[in-house]
Structure 1
Amino acid sequence: MNVRAPRPPGRPGQVAVTLWALLLLACVFVVSRTTFTTDLSAFLPRNPNTEQRVLVDQLKNGALSRTLLVGLSGGTAEQRAQASIALASALRTDPAFESVVNGALDPEQREHDAALLFRYRYLLSPDVNADRFSVAGLRAALNDTLDLLSSPAGLSLKPLVNRDPTGETLHLADQLDAGGHPPIQYGAWSSKDGQRAMLVLTTAASGSDTDAQEHAIATVRDRFAALHTPLAIEITGSPKFAVDSRATIKHEVTRLSLVSAVLIVVILLFAFRSAPMLGLGLLPVLTGALVGVAAVSLAFGSVHGITLGFGTTLIGEAVDYSIYLFIQSSDRTRRGTGLGSDDRAGRRAARDARVRRWVARAWPTVRLGMLTSVCGFSALTLSSFPGLAQLGVYSIAGLVAAATVTRWVLPVLTPLTLTVRDMSAVGARLMRVADAARRHRVLALVLIAAWIAAAWLTHPRAWLNDELSALSPVPPQAIAEDQALRAQIGAPDARYMVVVSAPTLDAVLEGAERAAPVLDRLSASHAIGGYESPARYLPSEATQRQRQESLPPAAELRARLAQAADGTPFDPQALEPFIADVDSARTQPLLTASWLRGSSLGLGVRAMTDCSPGRCHALLPLRAPSASVEIDANAVRAALAGVDDGPARVSFVDLKQASDSMYDRYMREALRLALAGLAVIVALLALALRSLTRLVRVLGPLLAAVVTVVAGLGIAGVSLTLLHVVGLLLIVAVGSNYALFFARHAEQDMPEAITYASLAVANLTTVAGFGVLALSSVPLLKAFGETVGPGAILALCLSALFSRHAPRRPDPSPEPAREAPLS
């Protein structure tokens, strides 16, 4: 192939270096202002359905994403309660927390809540209706109050009798307590087994603000430490998971990046035998990483930690380009190019001649290999899942930048006096091994077929993992501890909830009220253990008006009350304050969310509603009947099917089912995108190679490597996740470089030994970059390592095994291998 050699680097080279330096400065500026996240919401769809939207909202800003459960254990029950009260008191004054609940209200808060309940008792109480204020209803209520006065609880009711003889305040308190709060010991919540004092904290910051959540958790620990108590503290919940996940990912990325960097440095030092050459060889990698992060930041506004983890793998492929340049331009097949010149001009001419020869012989193959990687990753940028699209943008920007720096910047920056190790002897040994292996191609095919058959027969599970939890960095032990603490406090099951959707908050409250009778029947039948509803704390306007209309005028109530009190100890004259309160309630303004602000009722409404202009959701969490009995999801779904009347839409949501459904969609999309990327790669190679035979020789080993890796994972009992699928695409992208060099080495006018040596070193660095990820405890990173690491080795070996054996070209440089000056 005749490729016109470029002109020696002169002024254009200086321009390239200047542009490169400016690019680095711009990228550093962008990266310094980049926000890094670790929450899984980046791997959620942009346009979710109703159930998925609930999941997305909960992960980002919902009450679940802002709720911490705290348990204090050890010591006596009294010590735990005292510590709980002291800790809650300290946290309530901290702006990091929206609410701190432990069953013990401070006197000021208790007084505020009591005044609010008493003032609006006739609008809040579900017992208020026309029958309640009939003569018979009033008589029954007065008799109930008499019974209560004769009980131990009567002392608390006695001061209220003249203003509330029907006991609405106590009925309302019982109704609000229907949420199943934990038992109280020594004035504070206790766990069901009595071994912990329990607190529920809601942070003020958004659930997606991991920095604020970390600060809140640190505040809890600091305030607890300041108590100087021998008790132990347990903290769990979604904010804790987010903070721990970020710390884990950060630790893993740092640790694995360091390990892979050390391995790559050792490999390159072995190959180059020169520290300055090593530094030059890493420039494309560093440039690619910076450009990749900056590109993702500009395109998405933030960078996910998994994208950074994936960036460590970029080292493995991006460093290949400088390896090809330095090793392949160090051969001695050309003489008379000024190698022995002592003058600077002669050394420069010799270096430029080497670069021109490499560009003419190898750059077209390197460029084509880079373009195949770009085509493969370009499909990921079309994903509706931002996390997957980030990986595509990062890879494309990083690889293009690395290849560009290798082609136009490294030749200019390389000092004239640097030397590169001549690795033709190493390549010759590898070539002899490959020649011997080619005689056993049929045996290799039989072994691959047997390997695949073994995987098919022994794989114990489904080939594709259909659970979103497979991507979660939260360890199973942490999840188990959270479930145990949640069960001890009697918290609603975070998995099941009823979702009411409508344009306004009031319409949502009406929908919640329509669902309440159905949920009450389900609770009575033990299909569920109970539920929470914002309508308990804030009835809809229609319900409040209906209750107002059921209240009789003062004169009518006075007459009815006189009849009802006849024969009882109650003096109708003493109940005039009651008549005045009822008459006032008939015309008092309706209760709104703004009036509840700052009260316990307001916190309950805010925790269960999520409203934005034109859209509002109410979340009604469901409790399981018992710790050993799960919610009957089918019964709940069937019972709610007929509730969907009016402006509000009532639906049953299984968050696990929603997440699995979303993950299934995610997996299908990833498979489609991977196949699309493969199709683009095939089209590009077909256009470049212009030969069906050569196309098969390039793609055959790559597909064989992919299938072999999948079989190996199957034999190991590993089901494929989304990141495994991306890793398989990466095998094709990385391996195409090897296959192309073997397919085109005859027309490159390059000795086979040099080709083998450069590919071997490049492969080792790729395996070092990707393979170490298999040691990660983060599933997202581990999937890359256990896929691309062995896949890269197989791609190289199979490409060499099935490559066409070219006639051996005599080496005009018979002397022993030694340092070859790059000058």
Structure 2
Amino acid sequence: MFAGWVQERAGETPVRPRDGRLFVAGEGRQYVLLTYTLKKSAFSLGAQNAVLPLLAQASNAARASVPSAEVIQAGVVLHAAAAGQQASREVHTIGVGSMIGIILLTWLTFRTFKPIGLIVLAIAIGFLGALSVCWLLFGRIHLLTLVFGASLIGVAQDYGIYFLCNRLRADPQMDSAQLLRRLLPGLGFTLLAAVIGYMGLALTPFPGLRHMAVFSAPGLVFAWLTVVCWFPALIGAQTLKAGPIARGYKSLVARWPRLTNQPLTLVLVAVLGGVTVLGCSRLTVNDDIRSLQSSPPQLVRDQIKLSKLLDAPSPVQYYLVRGATSEEVLQREEALKRRLDPLIAQKHIAGYQALSNWVPSARTQAERLALIDARLLAKDGPLSMLAGEIGEDAGWAAVTAAHLRANAAPLELEAFMRTSASEPWRHLWLGKTEGVYASIVALRGMRYPSIPVLGQAAEGLSGVQWVDKVGGISSVLGRYRAYMGWVVLGAYVVVFPVLFPRYRGRTWRVLAPTAAASALTLALLGFTGHSLQLFHVLALMLLLGVGVDYGIFMQEEHERGSDAPWLAVGLSAASTILSFGLLGSSGTPALQAFGLTMLTGTALVWLGAPCFIVTKEEPNASPVLA
């Protein structure tokens, strides 16, 4: 009986010890299994920088010794390092690309290097200030925050560009300090709206997104203060000269379409509204965390191959078993296993790993001992028959039975955990946690379509909980997608009264371009087959902060009829599109979704904001259509 039990336990893993090594066979080859344990977190850059060279050196040594050797590597640290390297590359690509684009646009607009230097200065101060605040509050910086922070360049330069464009078009007799006083209300409202947009990210439960919010909001404040405090002193009336872009915008302003109450305009608005409704009706949602997977294909293939070779249990789907005592936990594991055994026959799983396989509950051990006593050791039972076969008398059978009973002490879980045999299974025992004992029942050969069936297996079992970490995280993403959707709508409600005291009846004109652009962006996602996820909604939150800037710029100078706000919006939007366009090319799916949404939304706000202005000739325009 013991031999059968040992063979059953050996079937829980294909790994076999031989010559002091662990071997596993598969695909016609023999593999040696080598494990490594990290002393630091796999997400620590220090751990990654220390481990990766050692793994590469070991792999090269194995191939040098046996050229035909195959090395399969797996582990969280490899995926974390790949993500870190990708993020580092994107920080340079997005940051440098945005900066080059801004420098080129500034040169083509002002034909001098001084504005370029000032805008770079404002961006640098904003970036370093944000980095300092984030480091001070959190003590560390997520690489994802730096990637996102690189796109901050496309927003922080808005304030400087707005001042420079107005300085270019202003009366040469007006000094820069006077100009700043005229522009300061608009600049203040743009900062406030942008900070409201960014701080919406702080409402999410994700540390990385909270870091982004804390990074971005102070960064904008520092950049804004640099423009307000330094630009008037460093830029005079004769400093700037109109370049090709500045000259071209004058003619563009006259030909830009306006929102009027003409029949053609009403038809166009109705068509766009219908297209928006149709596109949004086609929009689906996808909160599956696996859609955000961005590990290199080779790492994913190695991970899958190793899991198949080892017949390893799923690390993200399992049963959590709790009880008041360790005995109760073992009994509840056994009740769960009785439900899982039919699922093995139905091919839903290949097997399971549980501590009760090695240490049955005391109740089960007592039942089995009673069965042996009744069936094997009883008087006139098989033991007595054996005594007769080997020439022993009844006394020998009685003594032997008493000896076996005396040595049949039950195996306790704590005693098993102290033996070396328990080492491969210790991860299944969580011990006493939050006042209760807990263990894990892991599944081998699990099929994803079987997840609903496996979840039902735990129903009605006291203390047994089905854990699907992928499904759980996806569910959290879905809840926060809906939650942040309401936050975006709430942000519009908050921004409107903030702007109303200054713009009065024109306040809706400040917000309408951004609201319309957000709706059209969602429609385009529906038409192109993209599924809505949390990061699309977060981008719409940020789009509010960015787009309202353009609405404010356009409404600030409506009475003067200047083309300065047109030029400022054009340059700001072009820079933002460049920044978030590069973010849209990110290999990280979350950032890519964020960037593409911002790219589309910003372009639409840029095109739409000038349509909502009221010129000095029409101050009493209808509050609905101008």
TM, length-normalised to structure 1: 0.65
Per the TM alignment, residue 318 of structure 1 is displaced from its structure 2 partner at its CA by 0.5
1:783 aligns to 2:603 (yes or no): no
| Segment drifting more, 395-404 vs 219-228 | 219-228
Other-structure match for 1:764: 574
Note if contact 2:322-2:464 (Cα within 8 Å) is conserved in structure 1.
yes
Conserved? CA contact 2:133–2:215, under 8 Å: yes
Name the CA distance, whole Å, in 2 between partners of 1:727 and 1:576: 81
Residue type at the aligned position of 1:240: L
- Alignment gaps of 5+ in structure 1: 1-166, 338-352, 809-823
Match in the other structure for 1:403: 224
| Aligned partner of 2:58 among 206, 223, 236 | 223
Check conservation: 2:510, 2:551, Cα contact below 8 A: yes
Query: 1:673 is matched by which residue type in structure 2?
Result: V
3-state SS of paired residue (2:303): helix
- Per the alignment, residue 34 of structure 1 pairs with none
2:142 alignment counterpart: 304
Partner of 1:235: 73
Once the two structures are superposed, residues 526-565 of structure 1 have per-residue CA deviations (whole angstroms, 9 ceiling, x without a partner) of: 443211113334555776788899998xxx9999896353
C-alpha distance 503-780 of structure 1, shift in aligned 2 (>3 A): farther
**Residues 260 and 489 of structure 1: is their aligned pair in 2 closer, same or farther, counting only changes over 3 Å?**
same
Q: Tell me, in whole angstroms, the C-alpha distance in 1 between the residues paired with 2:40 and 2:402.
A: 46
SS at match of 1:622: strand
Report sequence identity in percent.
24
Q: 1:197 aligns with which of 18, 23, 31?
A: 31
Task: Pick the aligned partner of 2:502 from 688, 691, 698.
Answer: 688
CA shift, 1:487, in A, is 2.7
Aligned to 1:486: 307
Aligned to 2:486, the other structure's residue is in SS state: helix
1:549-698 correspondence runs (5 A): 563=384, 565-568=386-389, 583=406, 586=409, 591-592=414-415, 595-596=418-419, 599-607=420-428, 609=430, 612-614=433-435, 617-624=438-445, 632-644=450-462, 649-689=463-503, 691-692=504-505, 694-698=506-510
Alignment partner, residue 624 of structure 2: none
Q: Residue 491 and residue 683 in structure 1: after superposition, are their counterparts in 2 closer, same or farther (change >3 A)?
A: same
In the alignment, residue 82 of structure 2 is paired with which amino acid? D
Q: 2:157 aligned to 302, 316, 319, which one? A: 319
Contact map agreement 1:501 1:616 (CA 8 A) in 2: yes
Equivalent residue, structure 1, for 2:564 = 754
For residues 94-130 of structure 1, the C-alpha deviation after alignment (integer angstroms, 9 at most, x for no partner) is xxxxxxxxxxxxxxxxxxxxxxxxxxxxxxxxxxxxx
Q: Which residues of 2 match residues 52-71 of structure 1 at below 5 A?
A: none
Q: Report which of the two structures shows the higher radius of gyration computed on alpha carbons.
A: 1
CA distance, structure 2, for counterparts of residue 585 and residue 676 of structure 1: 69
Distance (Å, rounded) in 1 between the aligned partners of 2:513 and 2:553: 13
Write the mapping of 1:283-362 to structure 2, written as runs, cut at 5 A: 283-331=121-169, 333-335=171-173, 353-354=175-176, 356-362=177-183
Question: Would you say the 8 A contact 1:327–1:758 is kept in 2?
Answer: yes
**Structure 1 residue 780: Cα displacement:** 1.7
Change over 3 Å in CA distance of 1:772–1:610 after alignment to 2: farther
Partner of 1:382: 203
In 1, distance between residues paired with 2:333 and 2:221? Answer: 54
Counterpart of 1:703 in structure 2 is 515
> Secondary structure at the residue paired with 1:234?
coil
| Distance change >3 Å, CA 253–CA 425, structure 1 → 2 | closer
Task: Give the whole-Å Cα distance in 2 for the aligned partners of 1:699 and 1:584.
Answer: 83
Q: Which runs of 5+ in 2 are unaligned?
A: 619-626
Compared CA separation, residues 232 and 273, structure 1 to 2 (3 A): farther
RMSD value, Cα? 3.9
- 1: CA distance between counterparts of 2:55 and 2:402? 48
Aligned to 2:251: 432
CA gap 1:204/1:476 in 2 versus in 1, 3 angstroms: closer
Rate the CA distance shift 1:428–1:502 in 2: closer, same or farther, 3 A: farther
> Partner residue of 2:292?
471
Q: Could you tell me which amino acid in structure 2 is paired with residue 220 of structure 1?
A: L
Alpha-carbon separation, structure 2, partners of 1:577 and 1:300: 69
Contact 2:536 2:594 in 1 (8 A): yes
Amino acid of the residue matched to residue 704 of structure 1?
A
Describe the superposition over 1:495-527 as per-residue Cα deviations: whole angstroms up to 9, x where unpaired.
Answer: 532221346666544432332222234324544
CA distance in 2, matches of 1:486, 1:387: 30
3-state DSSP of counterpart to 2:592: helix
> What is the total number of aligned residue pairs between the two structures?
606
Q: Deviations over 1:248-271 (max 9, x none)?
A: 222222222222222122223333
Query: What does the per-residue CA deviation read over 1:634-659, in whole Å, with 9 as the maximum and x for residues that have no partner?
Result: 44333432321xxxx10223333323
**1:785-804 matched pairs, under 5 angstroms:** 785-804=595-614
Partner SS state of residue 651, structure 1: strand
Aligned equivalents of 2:273, 2:24: Cα separation in 1: 56
Do 1:296 and 1:394's aligned partners in 2 also have CA atoms closer than 8 Å? yes
CA deviation vs aligned residue, 1:737-764 (integer Å, no higher than 9, x gap): 12112112045x6x61333233322222
Cα deviation, residue 579, structure 1: 7.9
**Which deviates more, 224-233 or 516-525?**
516-525
- Matched-pair contact (CA < 8 Å) for 2:94–2:151: no
The equivalent residue for 2:623 is none
Distance 1:369 1:630 in 2: 49
Q: 2-side partners of 1:294 and 1:786: how far apart?
A: 29
Q: Is 1:697–1:802's contact at 8 Å kept on the other side of the alignment? A: yes
Check conservation: 2:283, 2:526, Cα contact below 8 A. no
State the Cα distance separating 1:677 from its structure 2 match.
1.9
Q: Which amino acid aligns with 2:343?
A: L
Change beyond 3 A, Cα 1:439–1:285: closer
Aligned partners of 1:538 and 1:592 also within 8 Å: no
Q: For the Cα contact (< 8 Å) 1:203–1:216, is it kept in 2?
A: no
- In structure 2, relative to structure 1, the CA distance for the partners of 1:301 and 1:593 (3 Å cut) is farther
**Separation in structure 2 between the aligned mates of residue 715 and residue 608 of structure 1, nearest angstrom:** 50
1:316 deviates by 0.6
Q: TM-score, normalised by structure 2?
A: 0.84
C-alpha distance in 2, partners of 1:527/1:787? 40
Aligned 8 A contact 2:536 2:593 in 1: yes
